[in-house]
Chain A
């Protein structure tokens, strides 16, 4: 009985419906009072139930318990750490304020969403395997591609980097946790709500506007489109809250001696990314709010009549969604710098240039949004400065690529799975980057935009870029997180299958686009048959290869070789701790005395972790408790 009152998932089972019911009641009363007909309007009631139900879920899981108790004048113990750290697997399903627990929650949850989004891709690839339509109707096909894109971007690629950062960054900084642990937990628990909102839209006709949800098509769509708009707002809120947390953590919680230029490059990358998230995400949230108001409240932000303008949606949408590409890849760049330096036993070549190039990309990233709109009929003069900015952004990206090559050069390269993914990433990302440069040039872009060439390009960037870095990062920190080594042999199989079939899946799409196959179609001209069959078969194998990864990680967590504290010989601070790290990370505040990549220097150290002084720590706690 008590479990439904304590902050657990069980409590969510009644708080979420209770909040939804309350919202429905209030709405109905309001509608009846003001004489609106019909009083029970389905779309309105569903919308308010989803919003209130989502809040109810966060309440149920315990997101507001601490703040509520404080507001109600209850007794709070600032040193109550009962929600901090996981003792058993059950704790991962609870509201937990430990950044390491939250990191794992993020990574596992988003990876499950990756598998779900991947399943959608396999379903529509089976439709595309042969010309003609066999598996899906047009409605189902459009729903599948829209869900695939939306799930992958908003509940996998963007948040999984927040998950990796959550686990690693406080450790790298020598901090005990993130700056705002409760906010951190709320950020995470918003994600299941967002994912539920997006996926449950299947019950209401799903959404069919691709991941972009452009009006005026979105105005025609079934109720599922409103859930797409809500889902993005929820994921966006989670993303903003996490970014604020990262900014505060990185700026204020660095260990003594950790100057900006002694920060590991993953921290730099997250700093740049978080600045982007905080500045850009409100744009997409705004666009989705306005678009939702158009649908549900009869406003005219983007409608064709009534003074609305559909082109404005595209501008606002891409003002977020282009920086979002960097949000999805900059932390990956950071991971690659860590992985390559550690496994090639060499300092990152041109550390400062790499750090500044992250900042450069973050700034330039705001001036390129309209390259998604060269054929949209926007002001034609605007196309030229956008083209120049887009081309220019290749320069800092190039600096990173060359710096990684410089890091590998003359190193002692250990071909671990983590490093294989990092090296494979350079290969695939260069292809995505180069097709991006070509697409920046207006006449070429206009000749093939919205074709499969675009699909090829952004999959090379997001799969060949982001996902390869995610794999590299997950393999790299796996021993730290679990205390055990993954199976290298399975890891190698996973890498080669992923690498080969990733290229076989996405490279032929360049040809299809050049030859005139548009994107987002369920059927195609006969000339594209063999290439589509090849792509579909490769996509199935690519999908299956993920299972090797999942098996490897789950199996090795129990049966893997014991890793020890520092299996890779890394110099950054997380490797100075036990694996997995203790609940409160460092026994005493570390002192940073040098750069993070001093490989090859005899006896060089990045930081010193002093021996703990338990008696003193105990006393301070007691004193602080008395004062409170």
Chain B
């Protein structure tokens, strides 16, 4: 039998892996990209899936070729070659994974810095305080122009960075909006922050991703019969109208029970 050339096989493995990655990328329809950050994170996913596919392709191809080519025949008493290692090859397969993980780390850094809208959101955008409880979310709008408390719904204007402060009344919850590719735990005793920039008008699922007790399953707007409302991303004009409506409603309510607003005045 002719010996198998390793280099061409590696190239074939790379191509096979690239095809596997491409198939996975094309066939898996990710949730809608409804935030600016989602695009970057999906690109990062595709970038890493590319590397993963290539490694997978090479390993699998070599594995399959080895099994078929070097298979023992019945009653085969031959022994394998007494090769204990080839130093240069071992160096190569140490360095190449090192380069690949460095590339992944680089990709991670880029997206981490790009995705950091915190500073922007903190100063100019919406600030929403989310208090998680068993089993739901309570939203407080802390931005100067919106003085609302205890709203049932999360409504946000499109295209504006939003800064979230997360706290919890009881146990750990995790605020996850898959369409925004954004998740943050609400950890007891501390204020966790995260931010995003919604980029598309629409309604999106809000999921509690962290086991929080009996009602955890239902703390997910995508479950049939869930009482958790979806997040609504609307245009600025619609948002302003909504805010006005909410203020009016709050004032009406304030006549029976006074509600504390964030600036300390009584609404």
Let me know if A438 and B183 touch, CB within 8 A: no
Let me know if B188 and A310 touch, CB within 8 A: yes
Let me know if A399 and B48 touch, CB within 8 A: no
Which of B56, B86, B166, B187 has a CB less than 8 Å from the CB of A431? B56
Task: Check: A450 CB closer than 8 A to any chain B CB.
Answer: yes
A441 touching B107 in the complex, CB below 8 Å, given contacts A310-B172, A406-B85: yes
Task: Check: A484 CB closer than 8 A to any chain B CB.
Answer: no
Task: Check: B71 CB closer than 8 A to any chain A CB.
Answer: yes
A447 touching B41 in the complex, CB below 8 Å, given contacts A142-B214, A220-B213: yes
Q: Which residues of chain A in 409-468 are interfacial with respect to chain B, using CB atoms and an 8 Å cutoff?
A: 409-415, 423, 426-427, 430-431, 434-435, 437-438, 440-444, 446-451
Instruction: Count B interface residues, CB 8 Å.
Output: 87
- Contacting residues, chain B, for A524 (C-beta < 8 A): 222-223
- State how many angstroms separate the Cβ of A36 from the closest Cβ of chain B: 28
Contact with A along B71-92 (1 / 0, CB 8 A): 1100010111111111001100
Task: Check: A522 CB closer than 8 A to any chain B CB.
Answer: yes
Task: Check: A526 CB closer than 8 A to any chain B CB.
Answer: yes
- Category for how many chain A residues contact B: 35 or more
- Contacting residues, chain A, for B154 (C-beta < 8 A): none
- Contacting residues, chain B, for A527 (C-beta < 8 A): 222
Let me know if A412 and B178 touch, CB within 8 A: no
Task: Check: B97 CB closer than 8 A to any chain A CB.
Answer: yes
- Contacting residues, chain A, for B55 (C-beta < 8 A): 430, 434
Let me know if B97 and A441 touch, CB within 8 A: no
- State how many angstroms separate the Cβ of A99 from the closest Cβ of chain B: 30
Let me know if A310 and B189 touch, CB within 8 A: yes
Q: Which residues of chain A in 333-380 are interfacial with respect to chain B, using CB atoms and an 8 Å cutoff?
A: 344-353, 375-377
The CA of A518 and the CA of B222, in the complex, are separated in Å by 11
Q: Which residues of chain B in 167-207 are interfacial with respect to chain A, using CB atoms and an 8 Å cutoff?
A: 170-172, 174, 176, 178-179, 181-185, 187-190, 192-193, 205, 207
Task: Check: B112 CB closer than 8 A to any chain A CB.
Answer: yes
The CA of A388 and the CA of B80, in the complex, are separated in Å by 39
The CA of A375 and the CA of B176, in the complex, are separated in Å by 10
Let me know if B182 and A217 touch, CB within 8 A: no
A408 touching B49 in the complex, CB below 8 Å, given contacts A220-B171, A391-B101, A444-B44: no
- State how many angstroms separate the Cβ of A133 from the closest Cβ of chain B: 8
A515 touching B112 in the complex, CB below 8 Å, given contacts A402-B93, A447-B181, A600-B82: no
Let me know if B112 and A443 touch, CB within 8 A: yes
By a beta-carbon cutoff of 8 Å, the part of chain A in contact with chain B is 131-133, 138-139, 141-142, 208-210, 214-217, 220, 304, 308-311, 344-353, 375-377, 384, 387-388, 391-392, 394-395, 398-399, 401-403, 405-406, 408-415, 423, 426-427, 430-431, 434-435, 437-438, 440-444, 446-451, 511, 514-516, 518-527, 595, 597-601, 604
Sample (15) of A-B pairs whose CB atoms are under 8 Å apart: A208-B214, A215-B188, A351-B85, A377-B184, A387-B105, A406-B89, A412-B72, A413-B66, A430-B60, A431-B56, A444-B108, A450-B183, A519-B209, A525-B222, A604-B82
